[in-house]
Each structure stands twice: as C-alpha cells, then as structure tokens.
Chains A and B, each alone.
Chain A
Amino acid sequence: MVLFTMIARVADGLPLAASMQENEQPGRDLQKYQNQAKQLFRKLNEQSPDRCTLEAGDVSFHYLIEHGVCYLTLCEAVYPKKMAFGFLEDLQTEFYDNYGRKVPTVTRPYSFIEFDTYIQKMKKSYIDSRTRRNFGSINTELQDVQRIMVANIEEVLQRGEALSALDTKASNLTSLSKKYRSDAKYLNTRSTYAKVQPHLCF
C-alpha cells in the first residue's frame, strides 16, 4: 500500500507536490519517513540512478527521476515493486504534462500542491485490487523493473555523512597535531630553562 508520495525538483530538492498521509497508521511514524525523504531529495543529483528502491525496514522508498523531477513514494515493503513503479510512471506522465515546463522556474515549496488531487485518485485505483487487473499492460512494460537498483536508505543518507565525518576527523587530527607541536615547543623551552637555572644559581 502506498503510504505517501512526494514530488521534488532534483536540482535543489525543492518539494513540488505531495499527498497528505490520509489514514494515520497506528504505530508508524510517518513524520520520520517524510524527513528522510526530504533529506534524500537534497542528496539526489544528476548522477543518481534514475530508478531506485531504498529499503527502510518494513517499508521501502521507490523513486523515479525524469526530466529533473524526482517522484518518490513510500510503500510497505511487501507492496509489489512493479506496482509502485507503475504508479510513479503514471504520476510522472500526468505531472509532466501539466506542470513540466514550469518546474525550473518555481521557487515556492509545494507550488504544485494541487497535484495532490490526482495523486490521491491514482493511489485509490492502485489500492483497489479489482482495478489491478486493468494494469496488466504495466506488468509487461516493466519487465526490467527487476534490474532496478536496490539500496538501503540509511546507507544512502549516511554516505554523505561518512565523508563529512572523515573530514571532521581529519581536521581534528590537524588541530591536534598543531597542539602537539606547540606543546612540544613549550616543553622544550621549559626544559631548557630548567637546565639553565642551576647554572645561574651558581
């Protein structure tokens, strides 16, 4: 089942549209996943794979990048991947038709929030098992879905952090070595004084 859907601009991670989480899932903190999604948007760039599934425990993020826009949805892990990508493809087509040209120019977050109405509608049709049969075509189109890269959300989000951690560690090292140097100097002088002092006394 689709839990929430967000659409963002890849270039700067600006959220363009989203669907409200309709039914509060008891015991599931959607807020946390939303924040992860936002972080993810900020990490994505042109080099990112344009289709990817990121696992996060019993739920998975699926995203699709097309024309500089990222379509992301959070589903339960058991939800069929091809359905999820079919859903995203649908959104992509509709969104691009309606707003595609305006995407690069907007500055306000959620400028196309009205797209939510369409997302809701699509979501409903994907939830309803009876209509699933209607999507037989999708099944064939998306054969290659198996080849979509799978990664772990934590890893993706922390990839950057590991680098920055390295960076801070390196700079820590630098400052520590500097401190060592000055301390050593200070000790040296002190020992020199210590040596000289007795002589002076005499």
Chain B
Amino acid sequence: MSSTGFNSRNGTGQTYANGPSQNPGMGFNIGSQAPYSPMPTKGPVAPGAGLYNSGPYQPGPPAGPYQPGPPAGAYQPGPPAGAFQPGPQAGPYQPAAPVSSYHPPPGQPPLTRPPMGGPPPTLTPPQSSSPAPRMPHAQATPPPPAAMSHNYYPNQPPQQSPSPAWQYGAAAPPAAAPHGAMRAPPSGPVGNHVGPMNPAATLLPPQPSPSSSAGYAPTPLAPVPHSTAPGSGPGPVPLHGYTQPGNASTPPPMAPHPYQPASAPYGALPTGHAMPPMGPPPMGNATPPPPKAEGPSAGNGHQAPYAFNHLENKMAGAPQSGPPGRHLGHYPSLPPGYNNTPASQGAAPPMHPPMQTAPSQYPPQPQLYQQPPGGPGLAQMSSSLASLSLQGNTPEALRVVNLLQERNLLPAGPIPAPTPPLPQDLQKVNCNPEVFRCTLSSIPQTQSLLNKAKLPLGLLLHPFKDLSVTLQLPVVTSSTIVRCRSCRTYINPFVSFLDQRRWKCNLCFRVNDVPEEFMYNPISRSYGEPQKRPEVQNATIEFIAPSEYMLRPPQPAVYLFVLDVSHNAVETGYLNVVCQSLLDNISALPGDTRTKVGFITFDSTIHFYNLQEGLSQPQMLIVSDIEEIFLPTPDSLLVNLNECKELVQDLLKSLPHIFEKTMETQSALGPALQAAFKLLSPTGGRVSVFQTQLPSMGVGALKSREDPNQRASAKDIQHLAPATDFYKKLALDCSGQQVAVDLFLLSAQYCDLASLGCISRYSAGSVYYYPSYHHQHNPAQVERFEKDLKRYLTRKIGFEAVMRIRCTKGLSIHTFHGNFFVRSTDLLSLPNVNPDAGFAVQMSIEENLVDMQVVSFQAALLYTSSKGERRIRVHTLCLPVVNSLTDVFAGADVQAVTGLLASMAVDRSVSASLGDARDAMTNAAIDSLASYRHAALTIQQPGLLAPACLRLFPLYVLALLKQKAFRTGTSTRLDDRVFSMCQLKFQPLVYAMLMIHPTLYRVDDLSDQGALNISERTIPQPRELQLSVEKLCREGAFLMDAGSVMHLWVGRSCNPSFLTQVLGVPDYAALPQNMYQLPELETAESQRTRAFIGWLREQRPFYPSLHIIRDDSPQKGDFMQNMIEDRTESALSYYEFLLHMQQQISK
C-alpha cells in the first residue's frame, strides 16, 4: 500500500525523467500525500469517534452504535482553541498577571493538604468532592471498574477502526484510499469541525458565568445525537455501567485485598478490584493493563490504609456515577471549578493520596508547587505507604503526574532520551539516541496495541552527524562486507551467532554463513572469534566500500555558486560577505586535488565565468537567451580549484564590484538553475544558490501570492503548496544526476519559499533563510550569515549518496520526512548529504511481533566522501517489544514524538489545511492522554493525568501550535511560516526541539555552583525556566536560547552589577537599543556569561545570533512570542490548554 503512496509521490519509481512529467500538475501535493493519508482519513471518521472513544466514556458508548453519532457534537477540538480565547476563565491562570494566579499558594495548600491529613479525612473528601466541580473527572473514574470491563471489548474493535484513521496508526491502511479519497476527507473533517465549532464557540464564551451550564452544553448535547444509538453518552447506558461498578465496589472489603503493591502507581486498579467479584468479564477488559496480571497474586492486604484510600477512591467514584442524571446535573457546577482553578485543584487532591505519594517518592522530581510546609506528615506517610505498596519499582517514566497540579515540569537540564529496557549487554552497544531514536522506545507488539496508545510510531535519524567529537566512529576496510543474503542487512551487534560459522539475521531471521575472512579479527589479530569483530561490536560503523558499491568512479567534490546580482541583491550587500567568506575558506572546502568550482551570476541574463588555466583574468560570458539556455563553452566553466586558485580568487575579489552600479531589477532564477544543472550533470555536485527576490523572468517565474493584510486574519492559510512544479521537476532531474541545490534566501520581500523550496527539498539540499538581510540595517543577521556560511562551506559533505532504512520483518516504513527523493519504495536518493540534515520516518506494524523480544532498525548511508572514497555508514538500533499498554507508554520518547508529530503536521497543513494540522496535533495530545487514562491507569483520579515520560507532551504540542509554522491569528509572513515548516522537517531533533521549545535561563546571577568543567573552562549551568512571563523579573536578566537566535532580555531595574560587569554600561538607561554582542570584559561575571553563551553556541553547527533586548525595545515581541506558557490574544495559555484537554478527555 504504502508503496503506491511513494510512487505517486515520486512520480515514477526509478526513472526520474518520467517522475515529474507523470504527475505534472500535482507537484507538491502528491509528495505530501502519502504522509498525510492517515490524518485526513482520520478527519472524517475520527474527529468524533476517535475522541469519543478514547474519552472516559469509552466504556459508556458501548460499542459501535455510538460512534457514528459523536462527530457532530462531541468533537470540538478545533473550537477549543477558539472557544477559550474569550477567556472568561482566564482569571485564574494568566500570564498577564505575572504573579499568575495559577500558583496561588493561599488557595491551594489549604485545599490540597488538609483533606490529605490522614486516611480518615481522605475518606470524606472524596464524597465532598463528588458534588464539587470536578465532577467530570469523578465520573471519569467510575466507569473503569465494571462498566468498562464490560464494554471494553466490544468497544475495542471500533476503537481501532477510528484509530487507524488517526494519524499514526493508520498510516498504511488509509493510504489505501487513493488520493482522490484522501483529498475528499479533509474537507469532510473541516466541515465537521465547523459544525461543532460554531456551537462551541457560541456556547463557550458565555460559559464564564451562567454559561457554565451553557459551556458544558456541548457535552450534554453530544449525547443527544448519540442517543440515537443505544448509549446516549452519560445517559442511561453509563448509568447502567456505573451502577455496575457500584456493585463491584459494594464489596468494599474486597477492595483492600486485591490492592497490589506493584499496580498501585499506575496499575489498572479498578479493574484489579473488579476482577475478583466480576470474574471473566473484567478479565477481558483487564487485559490491556499489565497490572492486572498481578491482580490475583496481589492479595496482600497489609497496607490497609492504602487500600483504604483506594477504596475511598472507588466509593467516590461509585456514588457519583451511580445516578447518571447526577453528573449531568453536575455539569453546571463544573464551570465554577473550571473557572476557579484553585478550587478544582483543591478538590482534586483528596482523590489523590495514592498518587501523590508517588511524587514524593522521587526526590529529584519537581516539587508540587502547592506543597505546603505543613504537609510532611502526610507526605511521609503516604510515601512510606507508597514504598510499601510500590516497593519502589514503578519506573520513573510511569509516575503519574497530574498536569493541572504540577507546575514545574521542566527538568533542570536537557531531557535525555529514554533508555529502552533492554538486556544490559544489548543496551551497552545500542546506537546513540542522538543519531537514531524511536518515538516509542518499547515497540508495541501489535498494531492494535499501537493504535490504543494513540502515539505515533516512527524513527528520527541524524545519520551523517559529525561524530568525531562525541563518539568515535570505527572504520572498517574489508574486501567483503558481510550482509544478510536475503534482506541485505549489514551484520551488526544484534545478530545472533548460531555457532562459529553461522549467524542469524536480526531483521529477516535468515541463517547466513560467516565468510572465511570474517573469522579473522584484524583488531585483536586473532582467528575464530567472529563475535569480536568491530562490525559486531559497534552499532555505528563505517565501511570503506569495495568497487561493487560504485556504479561509476567516485565523483570529485564539485561546488557551483549561483549568485543573484540584480539591483535588489546588490542593495542588500550580501555579495561581499559571500565572496569574502569564500576567499577565507577556499582552502578549507572539503575535497582533494580534484575539487572543482564554478560560478554563475544572474539577473535578467545569465553570466558564466571562464576560469581556464592560463587566462590572465577571469572571462565573463553573458548568455541573454534565457528561453533556451546553453553553455557558452564546453569546459573551463568548472575548473580545478587547485590549479586555478588564483583566477578564482581574482574573480571573488572583483565580483562585488562588477555589479555595484547595476540597475537591472529582474531575476531569471529558473534559467540560471537550468544552466547550473547543465554544468554539473556530467559529474554531480553541489549548487549553492543565493537569491534575494521573487524570480520574475523565464521559466520558473513566480507571482506574489501573499496578501499582507490577510496574514493575521485569514481563517486558513493559503499558498503553502508550490505555485509551479518547475522547481520540483528540475530538482528531480538534478537528483538523477547527483546534483543537490542549497538555497540561501536573503530577502525582505515575499519570495514564495513554498515554491522555491522544492528545488532543495527534492534534491536533498537545504534551505537557509535570512529575512530582511541588509548589510547595514541588520548587523546581527550579517554576523549570523557569515558564521553560517563558514560552517556551510567547511562542513563535511557526502556526494552521490543513497540511504536505506531497514527494519525487522513485521514492521514497515511508510512515510519519510526530510529533504530527499524516494527512489523505489524505500531508497532515499541524496545527491548530497550533510551533517546537519535530519530525517524521520513513520512506521506501522504489519504483522504481530509475537515471539520477538526485540526488533532492530538499520539505516545504511552509502556516500562518496569529498576525498573520493566510497563509504557506507551503518547505524543499527535495537528496541524491545512489549505487549502491554503501560509498557508502551513507559517507553514513549516525548521529544521524538513531538518531532515526528511536527513533521506530520507540516505535511498535513500542505495537503489539507493548517487548521486540520492544528487539530490533529491537539488531538494527538488529547488522545494519547485519554488513552493513557482509560487503558493504562487503574486508579482513576481526577485531574489531567499523564505518565511522567509524557508530562511535557501537552506543553510541546502547545508550543507547536504557537510555532511560526502553525500559529494562527498572529501576523506571520508566509515565507517565515514556510521556512519554519522546512526547518521542522529537516532539522535533526535536538535543534528542532530548541526551536519548538526554547530554553530560558536567568543569567544575572550565574555562579560556579554545579558548573561544568570542559577543558579548563568553567561553564555555569543555570536552571532551565518555564517559558512564562511569571518567571521573569525586573531585577534580572534572562537568556532565551531558541536554536538559531538567542535573546538576552534585560529587566528595567536589572542588577547593576550585571549591567556594569557584563554588559559594560553604567546603568540601564545607557543600554543601547541594538546590541548584538557582549563586550569582552575581564570581570568574573562577564567571563562566566560569555563562557555560558559560547558553550551553548558550540553545541550546534550553526551560529545563533545574540540580541540584547531592553524591556522597552521593539524586539521585545520576538522574545515574548516564545513565552509559550502564556496566553496571547489569539492563543491559549498552557493552563487553559490543559483544561481544554481535560475537558476533551473526560467527555
């Protein structure tokens, strides 16, 4: 299936020539289709169904009938965003008030703590709480016991069906729907959204006051449509369902007993309980959560109190749920709680005792912010209880976190990738997560399990990462490279040796012979120990390829520079920088004595430069026939750098002056690119294009498609897809001749990056964008451009590369993200590969991975180095297979999930609409947490619960929604938006994460405490702060690191010593408006600050520019827009977003 998708995306399989022509008009869309397929499909069905199912009612909507109805009312994912804005409930948590009423210590502590005093009190609160606002959760709680058990199964299948519809799960299946079909769906969902949206929108605003009822109305309403089906949501059916749980809980004594230690933290408690009495039915339901297994054995009633809590928990649930009418009745009361955060929070805790224990158990974890000083008694108690009951073996990743209560979720430092639970010896050799990681570090055994988890499954790669610094890269020269005979997998540490002579492939399980040469180990110089070979000892390794891996002799490094020299370009003054940078780095260009360079400049005509050895000066050849471009001379346009260095240098020195006075305003980019292609096609190589305006002449001319007035107000963003397929076609031709095109866009005006970007996207190039570049007006941009160019020119490069990703039988890769062209179904053609390129792939589970302990993934990148060596870099990743949902959640890698989600959303916004993509992201967060709550959690507590490993997921999703790429309602230039999308797709995860969620540090009080020591430099390590204005203070100075840019915000009454010692100004008033550098002062403070910033810069390939911002500086907006936890006029605050999620989940 998926293969068809790819083919379509590429046009045709192998023959590039046909590629473009086959699907002319469809350009981009096609490309993007395969990826989206899942999402659109989801749209129509899932919006309602998917959500609903995953909702607490999962059980309630017993079975299928329910699904059809819901979409209408049930689903208002879209609206929430909108609906909330009116922000009546803004009150409690609002950035505006820096003090954020969110952590009003007054309200909370009393509320939270007291009830928790001890077991007895705990008992009461729940009841009291039940009438309380948190009703929705409460009701959420009950279903699990019996009702759930019952409905679960019936429900399951339907649940799955929608889930494929959901972004990930589906991937393959939905793809089945041909484009036509896919096309259609998007509109479907849109329609749907709109439907619910309106009501919601209208209903919600009033919500604040009387509205409460109104606000919630949607929910009640929802059932109505459903009620057409048997189960009208909360109505009768649940009633039934609930009563049952009630019964289940009737044997309160039972409760204590089944309570098992292990399951306490996350286990399927209710189920556990239900089990004994209920017998078989619960069994069925219980299957998903692992703890159930322990159920029977659990009978240790020793932790009476704990059990007690639990019991109480149940009771709380049961009564509430009992009368279904009641919770309807509760809705009205809910909004108050809703509006009044503290209240709801206060109410929540009582239910929590067991859970709260968990946090206290882990000292490192962030303290509950409302933790009152007086609480130790309980805390101790509960923690001791917890330790008793949990025996401390809950993995940290599964610690339950109530997002509504825990505020300080950010760890102090960078977030490490989760370590998969593999046997030590395998994990020891496993691939570095910076190079190769999976969104789920424990692979679910079946697609249905994956669907249940509602998390996307995919790999993120950074295959050509510079490894010399962090990792050592073993290089093997061997005449035979040992590979599996059937699937061509390279031998790796995760294969098994049946004996000395045979090995079993870990991807296809074929048994292969060990070749004679492999028996000898060149490192230890011993014979007969194939297991000791470097290939079997290292998950990342590089082979020097024998000649079978070469279709032609390795190509030389060839660099062609295509420079815009129109009036506009000369105005920006970029030419000087490019030429100077080239002059400076000309000897550092990667290559050998064969390296070739060439230059083309263009305005309305194309200029070539004859650099033939022996000429006294470069010769300019002008071709003015741009309709049919030809090369004015067969050779000497590309010359050997070594032999013609002087001529090249002459040219670089004179180039900026030649065009100083030009009045030519037109730009014939298309023909210039054609010329570049002609010039490079015999050898292949790299074309670097510098462009400063919209191409206006010849093929590939574009028109402005952006209406600046619509930037903020437009309902949906248009023109994210290319206007012409010229650039894509040309890119495919380039790809066939091993030519990659890198695009540097320096422009203040709209340049239609959506169209131009295709030239790089399909030829495996990269796009660099310097908006409003000007040599005088924008010095920070100039500095960044210089530094970036240096990196660009001198970084490692691989030519004529291909990459293939293989995975264990049963898994299948269906969608790729990044810049490349997919040749045949799974071979990525990369005319160039650079160390700063990232890739992502989505996977589905085609066959159940039964009887497998582990699965492996292997990425092999075959390339020609700049020295003419053909090499193969192989990365192998091994991950365990798990069969319980809890374990799947435990292995979730929130950063990888976010990264993959962002890529999927980019595709989606091009193929469907931005609104769709936004909804899809929101739903991804909602669905996964809903699924966690309903399927993986046994203790149903109120609040928005997430496993610790996913606790940042909502935050990251919100951050994505506020990214330039996806934000709405804020004026965003189309090119900025498209560039941001490009970055999300081809940046390696580490850098993309910084862009998505910048890090904020307070830097006016840096100290050496806890500092790092790197080669005699002391680098202070301040704590990462949340991105909220509440964290700022006037007395401080804060550094925000957003990947490609850093902002240093200086408060109005900033610490004077910081001003004088670090910024070198006497007082705040003397701080200039535009400051882009820290003065090099000899003070300790200055050295510390510079060391810290320098250290941050060293960690990434491209140079982030530094902007020092006064509180009243016009650039403050750039700084503030990254305060993603705060509300803006067009977007929710983090807390509001959480409430929205909670509402969706408990619906």
Contact = CB atoms under 8 A, between A and B. Distances in A.
A176 B477 CA distance: 44
A109 B556 contact: no
A97 B682 CA distance: 30
Interface in B563-598: 592-594
B594 A108 contact: no
Contact of B868 (A22, A23, A24, A110): A110
Interface string B683-719: 1000000000000000000000000000000000000
Contacts of A167: none
B17 to A, nearest CB: 14
B551 interface: yes
B635 to A, nearest CB: 8
Contact of B552 (A17, A22, A31): A31
B547 A114 contact: no
A44 interface: no
Contact of A15 (B547, B634, B642, B869): B547
B770 to A, nearest CB: 35
A18 interface: yes
Contact of A110 (B550, B551, B593, B681): B550
Given A110-B554, A117-B593, A24 B547 contact: no
A22 B682 contact: yes
Given A21-B682, A24-B682, A108-B544, A113 B479 contact: no
Given A109-B546, A114-B593, A117-B593, A18 B553 contact: yes
B870 interface: yes
Interface string B865-893: 00011100000000000000000000000
Contact of A20 (B592, B593, B635, B682): B682
Nearest to A8: B547
B469 to A, nearest CB: 25
B873 to A, nearest CB: 16
Interface residues of A, number: 23
A6 B550 CA distance: 14
A116 B552 contact: no
A15 B550 CA distance: 11
A200 B1130 CA distance: 103
Contact of A14 (B547, B551, B683): B547
Contacts of B594: 113-114, 116-117
Contacts, number: 61
A137 interface: no
Contacts of A6: 553
A117 B640 contact: yes
Contacts of A17: 553
Nearest to A4: B553
B550 A114 contact: no
B477 A108 contact: yes
Contacts of A43: none
Contact of A113 (B682, B683, B868): B868
A109 B870 contact: yes
B829 interface: no
Nearest to A120: B640
A34 interface: yes
A114 B551 contact: no
A66 to B, nearest CB: 21
Which of the four size classes fits the interface of chain B?
A: 20 to 34
Interface in B524-566: 544-547, 550-556
A169 B555 CA distance: 42
A38 interface: yes
A146 interface: no
Contact of B681 (A19, A24, A109): A24
A23 B638 CA distance: 13
A20 B556 contact: yes
B870 A20 contact: no
Given A20-B682, A21-B682, A113 B553 contact: yes
A143 interface: no
Interface string A17-46: 111111110000001001000100000000
Given A31-B552, A110-B868, A113-B554, A38 B547 contact: yes
Contacts of A108: 477, 544, 869
Contacts of A31: 551-552
Nearest to A13: B547
A34 B551 CA distance: 9
Interface in A96-150: 107-110, 113-114, 116-117, 124
A114 to B, nearest CB: 5
Contacts of A107: 477, 479
A107 B547 CA distance: 10
Most chain A C-beta atoms within 10 Å of own C-beta, residue among B479, B556, B868: B868
A20 B547 contact: no
Nearest to A106: B477
Contacts of A110: 547, 550, 553-554, 868-870
A114 B640 CA distance: 11
Most chain A C-beta atoms within 10 Å of own C-beta, residue among B545, B553, B593: B553
Contacts of B550: 109-110
A114 B868 contact: yes
A24 B678 CA distance: 11
A16 B794 CA distance: 28
A72 to B, nearest CB: 13
B878 to A, nearest CB: 30
Nearest to A34: B552
A124 to B, nearest CB: 8
Contacts of A15: 547, 553
B552 A20 contact: yes
A79 to B, nearest CB: 19
A23 B634 contact: yes
A20 B596 CA distance: 13
Most chain B C-beta atoms within 10 Å of own C-beta, residue among A6, A34, A108, A124: A108
A20 B683 contact: yes
Nearest to B546: A109
A114 B635 CA distance: 19
B682 A23 contact: yes
Interface in B464-483: 477, 479
A109 B872 CA distance: 14
Nearest to A15: B547
A14 B870 CA distance: 14
A35 to B, nearest CB: 9
A20 B477 contact: no
A11 B239 CA distance: 86
A15 B479 CA distance: 13
Nearest to A14: B547
Contact of A116 (B479, B546, B556): B556
A19 B477 CA distance: 24
A107 B978 CA distance: 47
B1006 to A, nearest CB: 50
B409 to A, nearest CB: 52
Nearest to B593: A114
A172 to B, nearest CB: 25
Contacts of A20: 552-553, 555-556, 682-683
Contacts of A21: 552, 682
Contacts of B634: 23
Most chain B C-beta atoms within 10 Å of own C-beta, residue among A19, A31, A113, A114: A113
A158 to B, nearest CB: 21
B544 A114 contact: no
Given A108-B869, A110-B868, 9 more contacts: A6-B553, A15-B553, A24-B682, A109-B545, A109-B550, A109-B870, A110-B554, A114-B868, A117-B643
CB-based closest 10 A-B pairs: A18-B553, A109-B547, A113-B868, A114-B593, A108-B544, A114-B592, A15-B547, A110-B554, A116-B594, A117-B594
21 contacts: A6-B553, A15-B547, A20-B682, A21-B682, A22-B635, A23-B634, A23-B682, A38-B547, A107-B479, A109-B545, A109-B546, A109-B550, A109-B870, A110-B547, A110-B869, A113-B868, A114-B868, A116-B594, A117-B593, A117-B594, A117-B640
Interface of B: 477, 479, 544-547, 550-556, 592-594, 634-635, 640, 642-643, 681-683, 868-870
